[in-house]
Structure 1
């Protein structure tokens, strides 16, 4: 069964104990690892490894000894409670072994948890989990945590947030990698340890948030937001030489202009997760709400074009053209 993002939140938080298991896959290894940890913690509870209710099987070991997974799901432990067999870093070389084990799984066997990289739609492993009525497949992509996920993470950290503070956290989640965002919440939890009942304030986030995202990408976005069209080409050559891809630039540009738009809609609210917040506040005031809404529309169209299967034009040329259009539009 293929999980949507909305369904996944409930499954991860409260895993059903009568299901076969879960495949978690995606290009971001940190994001996959975090979701796997959350699922296993919710499924097995504390002390699972010490009580031998969790068996870890690296994909390389499974390739050499295909019987490892079957033995793990059929084994009867000494301690009561749910059991799981976790296959880490699966790929098509071990897909047949895992698929064969799925077909032999019976209620009462240990759950099978599998993590993998960015799988193609034609992957045998992915097809098997999506087609099985008692299994789940969860793909993790570049989307930042949504509001519901942020609220869940806050609850786990023993934190409270409301109003503008939640908006600031959403901005921060878009600007940071998932692991960095979780570390920021952990830092906030320690920061508020002496006063956990008081909701977070904007000053708390300012004190704990990382000061910057990737500097080179920030530079091109500041050039665009400050309408310096003639400087875009040379900076794009520099980014290309550093291996920055067009989709990354598109995602970061959306984050940047969304933050500017949020600030324009809420005058006086600070911007978090960026190198120079004062500079971004000036950009937000200079563009204004209406122009920023139009800019976000242009960026959305470009993002869809970059992700289109029929796209033939060079991706970096597309994003560079959009950046130049944005700068000229802002200056008009």
Structure 2
């Protein structure tokens, strides 16, 4: 089944417990990551990771071991409760084992949650989930957040908004990506406390433009400029950028490079790149190659798991170490 519009928000908020799973795909890795995070929490609850009811795999792992996804679906957990198998960043070349596992799914197996990039209508992965009687496919596009998404984000923070403040929040939703929007609402909630939010609070908590600095530190890692990463991370840390945001943005960048490496080259990246950004991506693609890019994505997935776990390691130090490791990989032969 293919879900769109209001049906997506309804499914993500209260998915059918008997669902076989869902494919969530789109060019915006941040938007995809937030939606799959919401879906996994709705299906398995907030303690699924600690109770070992959530299995995380990468597309590369599925390709290297064709039975690993199916085995995870069939496994019996130590703790009672619903189970989820999450396979991140699956490309068309890695789709075969995932599709086979979905076809062998039966009631009682874990739910299968898969994420991917900008998949075409001809995608085998899309067709498998769209055609499955118990699974869904959700395409996410770079449209502004819908009314239901905004309402859900406001309700999650328990915000009380004056009419003028609500207009300011709607303006933020139209200009920020969903991840930055949620972070901004969280800051507004902390600032306002139990009082009604004023337009002054919205203006004060609105983020400065950090995209350039974020892009720069990820480019430094992809180019192999390890020495530049430390000063850039200090700047981003001072701006209040979250470590999870950085790992999602870095994953999106390396997923695009990997898609270009195994697909139609830089011209296949969506949204398309122009000018200096295209030149940089072509240079990085020549420097990395498909195999090293798969290793980079594995490293980023491990980092994402660490950041979202109960580890007490300083989160910005964790992502800085990962970016430095990427820079060293870029220069390795």
Q: Secondary structure at the match of 2:119?
A: coil
Query: 2:276 & 2:95 partners in 1: Cα distance?
Result: 35
Runs of 5+ in structure 1 lacking a partner? Answer: 216-238, 245-332
Query: 2:83 & 2:74 partners in 1: Cα distance?
Result: 10
Contact 1:146 1:170 in 2 (8 A): no
How far has the Cα of 1:241 moved from its partner?
A: 4.1
Higher Cα Rg, which structure: 1
Q: Deviations over 1:61-80 (max 9, x none)?
A: 11110111111111111111
Residue 121 of structure 2: aligned partner:
121
Say if 1:190 and 1:107 are closer, same or farther in 2 by CA, change over 3 A. Answer: same
Q: Deviations over 1:271-293 (max 9, x none)?
A: xxxxxxxxxxxxxxxxxxxxxxx
Query: Does residue 208 in structure 1 map to residue 192 in structure 2?
Result: no
Query: 2:162 & 2:17 partners in 1: Cα distance?
Result: 34
Runs of 5+ in structure 2 lacking a partner? Answer: 213-272, 279-333
Residue 156 of structure 1: aligned partner:
156
Contact 1:8 1:138 in 2 (8 A): yes
Q: Deviations over 1:15-64 (max 9, x none)?
A: 21111011000011111111111111111112211211000011111111
Query: 2:209 & 2:160 partners in 1: Cα distance?
Result: 24
How far has the Cα of 1:240 moved from its partner?
A: 6.3
Query: Does residue 109 in structure 1 map to residue 106 in structure 2?
Result: no
Query: Does residue 77 in structure 1 map to residue 74 in structure 2?
Result: no
Contact 2:62 2:98 in 1 (8 A): no
**Alignment: residue pair count:** 218
How far has the Cα of 1:242 moved from its partner?
A: 4.7
Query: Does residue 140 in structure 1 map to residue 147 in structure 2?
Result: no
Q: Secondary structure at the match of 1:94?
A: helix
TM-score by length of 2: 0.62
Residue 254 of structure 1: aligned partner:
none
Contact 1:69 1:98 in 2 (8 A): yes
Query: 2:147 & 2:108 partners in 1: Cα distance?
Result: 36
Query: 1:90 & 1:59 partners in 2: Cα distance?
Result: 4
The runs of at least 4 aligned residues of structure 1 exceeding 3 Å deviation read: 211-215, 239-244
How far has the Cα of 1:161 moved from its partner?
A: 2.5
Q: Secondary structure at the match of 1:56?
A: strand
Trace 1:1-332 onto structure 2 (pairs within 5 A): 1-193=1-193, 196=194, 198-212=195-209, 241-243=275-277
Q: Which has the higher contact order (CA 8 A, sep 6+)?
A: 2
